[in-house]
Chains A and B, each alone.
Chain A
């Protein structure tokens, strides 16, 4: 199965960025979000659709609606410029898959 993300999203500092991830099986599975900056390993931002690991700023939030899940970054900062990946897992299918990634540009 596949997860579809927009290749790029652009936003000005202080505004809200929304990055979507679509997949037919998402209503039945949890979704996870990662941030990856150049030359670094990904960092977990959101787990189980809406939960934030400790240490992740509150401006990062997750939501779901049917076959689409959304990562929302409120009050975007320059340091949020990065690639963002959604991820979902279903042991009855192919176990795990990542979306194609979205490059967030802070204007």
Chain B
């Protein structure tokens, strides 16, 4: 069974750096075509793709946020970490991690339950 779980602080202050961890099981990020992405959703708003890391350690970022985002993986721990610098109240959102696999192409076929991050002083 494939599962993903997000963890990190529920509250961060403006200008701080957010660090989120996605811990997954049931698959390996060393398998060809496997990827893990981060997606967020502000309250009442649409999904927004943020970043993706693939099995080959290639990394992709939303262009408008590229300077603030860093994605990395630790295959020994089955974890993907997202760092976002200079947090702003507009970054308040539920942050999801999700997987893509060779079967479904670039689709996010399994999602974590999400973690709500509030940015406030």
CA distance A85 to B46 in the complex (A): 8
From the candidates A30, A85, A89, A95, name the one contacting B47 in the complex (CB within 8 A). A85
B residues within 8 A CB of A57? none
**Residue of chain B at shortest CB distance from A49:** B105
Binds B, one of A8-16, A17-25, A72-80, A96-104: A96-104
Nearest Cβ in chain A — how far from B106, in angstroms?
4
The listed residue with most A CB atoms (<10 A of its CB), out of B46, B62, B63, is B46
Check B49–A32 contact: CB distance below 8 A: no
From the candidates A30, A85, A100, A101, name the one contacting B106 in the complex (CB within 8 A). A30
Check B105–A48 contact: CB distance below 8 A: yes
B56 close to chain A: CB less than 8 A: no
Give the interface residue-count category, chain B: 20 to 34
Check A98–B47 contact: CB distance below 8 A: yes
A residues within 8 A CB of B60? 91, 95-96
Tell me the B residues contacting A by CB distance below 8 Å: 37, 39, 46-49, 52, 60-63, 96, 104-109, 111-114
Known: A32-B107, A41-B112. 19 other contacts (CB 8 A): A30-B106, A34-B47, A34-B108, A42-B111, A43-B111, A44-B104, A44-B107, A44-B108, A47-B109, A48-B104, A48-B105, A48-B107, A85-B47, A87-B106, A89-B105, A91-B60, A95-B52, A98-B47, A98-B48
